[in-house]
Each structure stands twice: as C-alpha cells, then as structure tokens.
Amino acid sequence: MRSAFDLTFDELVALRPPNDARYLYRKLFNFSDWAEGRPVVGKESTVFLSEHFDFALPEITEVRRSEDGSSKLLLRLADGNVIEAVHMPRAVKNPRVTLCLSSQVGCAMGCTFCHTATMGLVRNLTASEIVGQVLAILRALGPIDSGRVTLVFMGMGEPLHNVEAVLRAVAIMSEEAGLRISPQRITVSTSGLVPGIERMASAPVRPCLAISVNATTDEARARTMPVAKKYSLQDLTTAVKRLTLRPHEKVTFEYVLLRGENDTVEDAERLAEIVRPFRHNLNVIPYNVYEGALFAAPEEDALQLFVKRLQDRGCLVTVRRSRGRDVAAACGQLVQEATVRAPRRGLRNLSA
C-alpha cells in the first residue's frame, strides 16, 4: 500500500474533489491532531484513507540528548535499517528548531574525514521515508508549528546521489496545504555531484544549496574526497553559476578545517578566490574527531588566522561550532551498523 507521505496535493486532488482533498491533506500533515497513528477525519474519509494509504512512520528507537540542548535520534525504517537525525533547538528571539536529516542509509562518497563513509552505501531513502523522518521527529520533540522549522540535508548520505527522492520530499514538505515548510528554509548539502546540482537547478520546487569544498586544489581535494576525481572545482563552480538565486538567497560553501591538510594561509587565499564570485555564506567547520579518525582538529590560533585571512579578502565567514559532539551528533559523526545490509556500493553510481 502506498505511503500517505509520498503524496503531493495535486495527486490527492486527482482522487478526491478539491475541497475534500485540501481538508484531507491538512489533516494528514497536522500531526498534533492524530489519534492512534493516523489523522482524525470523518467516517467516509477514514474509509478512503484506510483503503488507499499506509500511515507508518520511521520508529524512533533512541534519543541521545546533548548537554548543548540538541538531540541525536536513531530511527528504524520498515526494513530494519537504521538512520540518524539531529534535532537542534536554537535559542533566538523567535525560537526555532533545525533538523539535520539523512537522505541515505550510509553513503557512497568515501570522504576520508567522515565517519558515515565507513558504512558504504546500503540504500537510498524514499521520499516518504524522508518526509516520515521529519514527521516522526516533530511529533516526538516538536515544534508543532512547522513554520519554526529549518531543514538541512547534512545527515547520513549524499542528498544529490538520491536527488529525485530528495526533491520530491522537498516538494511534499513545501505544500501550502500540508507542512508549509518554505523551500528557502530547506538546504541540501552536496560533496559536489555536478549532475545533481544541475538537476536541482531545474526543479520546480528548489531548496537552497550548500557545497562542501574542503580543499582548494583538485589534487588536494581528491586526497580526501573521491568525488573530486570525477568533478573538478571548475566543474563545480560552473554548475553553481547556472543556479538562478532568489532575492536575498546565498550559496553556502562549507569548509571542514583539517589540521595540516587544508589549513594554510595559501589555502585561505585560494578559497577566497573560489567563493567571492558568488553571493555566499562561507561556513568554516573545525574538524569533529571520532574514534579511528585519520585527521586532527585545527588549533584555535590556526582557525582564527584562517578565518581572518578570508574576512580580509571580502568573504562572509561563519565558524560553525558543531553541536552534539558529546553524543556523536556533530558534522561527519553520524554512523550506524544497519541491521539489514545491502551489498556495499561505491563511486560507480556518482552520475545518478
């Protein structure tokens, strides 16, 4: 039976009269009114929904709470595989929550500084599993008001290696009759899959883009990110230039700072040259070490010198101090031994 969370509003309109469809769609995504795991609607609508749709959500099997207020969640999928997500409340004037989402079980990209890469790729998530991941977390930890939610695809997996499911999930979560999460509050982070960026640029409902650069020459990038052997920095920046930005929208560039690998003054100068042609935010991320990691975190003095050099060259820089380190929820630390394993797949499918 089809998941109810793989349903656009137009697809429901094709099955029900428009007014009825709008009522049902609002009920479907108004999870605060659910009872016994499904929306509360009239008798006729209950029969219709029960005959056509499954309402199962990923099961939250564990919540690990960090001292900084964030929480790492383990979610079990219907086939027994486990993914991870992070719930991050932000103490600002109008309190908001950022959800860090997974798009795959594992990852095929093989980045040598990322713990998730040690899993290999088990499988892609479906659009309904991605939407269900969001609903399960919001039901458990809030907020009820989806207008206070920001979504970032920076968890397990390479989102643009699963681009069609991710874009469909974004479209569903953006539906005005449903969750109403603006695509401008959804960011997809990629290690640099150029065909995925080009596909995303043409999507009718397009999220924001974040690019993991992490090195400033093709040779250095290929040492830590195998994707660079297929797509050069020139390929990457050319693809980003094809993206038509909305008013006030910026491209986010992410740079994981690795001690002794990519943290020189020369790296800072080259990085500035890469990002300055774009309306941008540049996130410098001190490396989050995990057991068995091949790299070390930068010294604070080196980090500040690197950032200052970028700022002096006109870059808009933020140092992203990853949350949830004490529960292994920080950038690059999400990893699970899935209970059901498919054959590990690697970089053969990068153009998918």
Orientation of helix 163-174 relative to helix 194-201, angle to 10°: 30
Cα 233 to Cα 109, 214, 218, 220: the distances in Å are 16, 11, 6, 11
**Helix or strand (DSSP H, E) at 293:** none
| List 84, 129, 175, 261, catalytic entry | 84
| List 114, 129, 331, 337, catalytic entry | 331
φ, ψ of residue 141 in degrees (nearest 5): -120, -10
Spatial distance between the Cα atoms of 187 and 242, rounded to a whole number of angstroms: 17
Cα 14 to Cα 22, 24, 126, 168, 318: the distances in Å are 12, 13, 22, 18, 46
Q: Which residues pair with 87 in a beta bridge?
A: 71, 99
Q: For residue 261, indicate whether it is catalytic.
A: no
HSE-CB at 11 with a 13 A cutoff on CA atoms is: 14
Q: For residue 36, indicate whether it is catalytic.
A: no
Q: Which of 277, 253, 263, 260 is nearest to 307 (CA)?
A: 263
Indicate the Cα dihedral angle 283, 167, 181, 67, nearest 10°.
-50
Give Cβ neighbours of residue 304 (< 8 Å, ≥ 6 apart).
none
CB atoms within 10 A of CB 58: 26
> So which residues are the catalytic ones?
84, 331
